[in-house]
Chains A and B, each alone.
Chain A
Amino acid sequence: MDLTNKQIQVAHLNGFHYIWQLERDDGKIVSQFEHDGEEVALAERFKILPKSPLDKYGDSIVVEGVRRGAWVATVEGLNSMSVDVEKGENLVIYRKSYLGSDSMKYFCYCLGVRREDVETDPVELVYYLCPPTVVLDKFKKPREFKGGITRSKDPLHRNEFDTFSSKL
């Protein structure tokens, strides 16, 4: 699931660390950017799983009809990550975005699978990819976040950046 130089270039220009790339059940691979650099709206190519308002994983975005999903790094030094989606599972993929009142911006990338073996008790196993960054603390001093990856099935799980930013 390689990317073209053109796709990577456009992703860089748009400020992405990672871009999504999904392999449909029929084997066709769809990337966030076309070869000419035009961006693809995921919901126009895939069906987003509707959820009950009472779903304990109500915050996540789940995509149907995918057998493999990936966040592909567009920055040298960052690792790409993919998951295989087994029968009876759907792909969980979204960016968790942070916008501070001081204009701080940060993206964490979520990737995993959702199982509904028991319809009323779904389980989502999700990785949180948190790229490194530098943000200002409450004394307006720059603080380095080294990044990290965690895995959880707890819908209220706090990722590495949540933990870091709560101590600023």
Chain B
Amino acid sequence: MPATLQWQQSTAASATWSGSDSFIRFKAANNNTDDLNNPLVRPSAGTNYSWEKALRIYVASGTFTQLSSLRVKLSTADIGTGLGGNVAQAYDFKSAYTQPIGTGPMAGREGALGTSEVAWNNAVNHAIGDGVAVQWNGSDLLYCQLEIGTGSGGELTSWNTIAVYNEI
């Protein structure tokens, strides 16, 4: 059967991974619960940041010969409407686990807001929305964070972070 892969998250000081079979919600709290508590709000100045999400792809089961070329992308370049480019999902890859942080941007990885409807960026403001995937060393962990800038109005919609890989 095909390899059964699973997104997993960890919030603990030491990595404690659990499967994610529902939506990953960025929030102002360090937990994996998909609820309406601890919402992110627009700041009157500057930028607000969600707690980071520490994610990995876990091979749960399956009979397969080879998995290769892990990549990751977002399902859309526009994660909302009328947001004026002031919301983005930033990302980083880390070779070792560190507990997610909840204050400020991921070190050195703040994306530029307000320049365009960037849905997915990193330190070099590398926009990879609209179906374009970036390489992901499978031994690395993926850290994501939502950044939200000033402004008013607009609607943030749901979107999908998609792992892409080849298998035979």
> Do A and B interact?
yes
Contact of B161 among A61, A100, A139 (CB under 8 A): A100
- Among B17-25, B37-45, B96-104, B108-116, the one that faces the other chain is B17-25
Per-residue CB contact flags for chain B residues 139-168 toward chain A (1 = under 8 Å, else 0) read 000000000000000000111111111111
Interface of B is mostly: loop
Instruction: Please report the total number of B residues contacting A with Cβ < 8 Å.
Output: 38
Q: Shortest beta-carbon distance, B140 to chain A, in Å?
A: 16
Report Cα–Cα, A42/B21, bound state, in Å.
30
A98-B163 in contact (CB<8A): yes
Q: Is B46 an interface residue (CB 8 A)?
A: no
CB-CB under 8 A from B163, the residues of chain A are 98-100
A61-B160 in contact (CB<8A): no
B168-A168 in contact (CB<8A): no
Q: Is A101 an interface residue (CB 8 A)?
A: yes
- Chain A to chain B contacts (Cβ below 8 Å), 23 pairs: A14-B1, A15-B1, A48-B65, A93-B168, A95-B2, A95-B166, A95-B167, A95-B168, A97-B2, A97-B166, A99-B165, A100-B75, A100-B163, A101-B7, A101-B24, A103-B22, A138-B75, A138-B76, A138-B79, A140-B158, A163-B131, A167-B76, A168-B75
Point out residues on A near B: beta carbons under 8 Å: 14-16, 20, 39, 41-44, 48, 58-61, 63, 93-104, 107, 110, 138-140, 158, 162-163, 165-168
